[in-house]
Structure 1
Amino acid sequence: MAALAWLLIPLFAVVGAAIWGSWASRDRTTGDIAELNGYARFRDAMEKAGAPGAPAPEVH
């Protein structure tokens, strides 16, 4: 029975490694599109704020 317990330890390690490997290699590009669109809007806003002739922000 003790030998069976020692054989289960590597089995659980392999199953855990397989789960972690599938999680680590998942496709994470779906969230990047929204973040890139937000960054493009931010860049446009910064360009408009720094344009010549634009009113300077008020400092209190």
Structure 2
Amino acid sequence: MASLAWLLIPLFAAIGAAIWGSWAARDRTQGDISELAGYARFREAMDRADGARAGAAAHSATDTA
């Protein structure tokens, strides 16, 4: 009976590894689309903010001159 218990340990480990492997290999492309769209919006907002800062700096430089 003890030998059967020792044989069940690798069996349970193999089943657990198969479950984990199938979970790790699942298709996750659905979430990537919304994340990429959010990143594009972030880049656009940062470009607008950089342009506004550059415009404000140029405007303040002409006011002091």
Fold conserved (TM > 0.5)? Answer: yes
* TM-score (structure 2 length as normaliser): 0.73
CA distance in 2, matches of 1:35, 1:4: 49
RMSD of aligned residue pairs (Cα, Å): 1.5
Alignment length (residue pairs): 55
CA distance in 2, matches of 1:2, 1:50: 71
* TM-score (structure 1 length as normaliser): 0.79
| Higher normalized contact order (CA 8 Å, seq sep 6+, divided by chain length) | 1
Matched, 1:14 2:46: no
Answer 1 or 2: which has greater helix percent: 2
> Match of 1:34, SS?
helix
Matched, 1:2 2:6: no
Q: Which stretches of structure 1, 4 residues or longer, exceed 4 Å deviation after superposition?
A: none
Unaligned runs of 5+ in 2: 58-65
Query: Where does residue 61 of structure 2 map in the other structure?
Result: none
Q: How far apart are 1:39 and its partner, in Å?
A: 0.6
Task: Give identity over the alignment, percent.
Answer: 75
> Match of 1:18, SS?
helix
